[in-house]
Amino acid sequence: MSELDLESQPTKTINVKLSKTSDWDNWFIVIELYARQRQIWQYIDPDVQHPPTLLCPRMPDLEDIKPGATLLSELTPTEQDDLRYN
């Protein structure tokens, strides 16, 4: 198993020191694997000419938490917490 195999070692910290140009390949591998694990590689892949636009998440509304709800009072305290932190 390679030391840079982040897919099988998601909690391993890898430090790559960029002292010379030959270090760049290892650094790039670390960045790519890290981004792939977090499902953001398509946004930063330098080989893609037109990467997808990253959209801001929208705030949840009552319907997201409890279908049919139109008032905050219709949610349980737990559902209200879900609305706040969703």
Which one is predicted more confidently, 23 or 12?
Answer: 23
Domain span including residue 65: 56-85
- Looking at the fold, whether 73 and 47 belong to one and the same domain comes out as no
> Is residue 39 assigned to a domain?
yes
Are residues 62 and 46 part of one domain?
Answer: no
| Residues 60 and 48 reside in one and the same domain | no
* DSSP 8-class letter at 7: T
Q: Is residue 41 part of a domain?
A: yes
Going 16 to 43 to 58 to 64, the CA torsion angle's sign is: negative
- 76 in a structural domain: yes
State the average pLDDT over residues 13-25. 84
Whether 6 maps to a domain, the answer reads: no
What ranges in the chain are assigned the alpha helix state H?
A: 24-37, 41-44, 62-65, 77-85
In a domain, 40, yes or no: yes
The more confident residue out of 18 and 5 is: 18
Instruction: Specify the number of domains making up the chain.
Output: 2
* Span 23-79, pLDDT tens digits: 899 899 989 999 999 999 999 999 999 999 988 888 889 999 999 999 999 999 999
CB count, 10 Å around CB of 65? 20
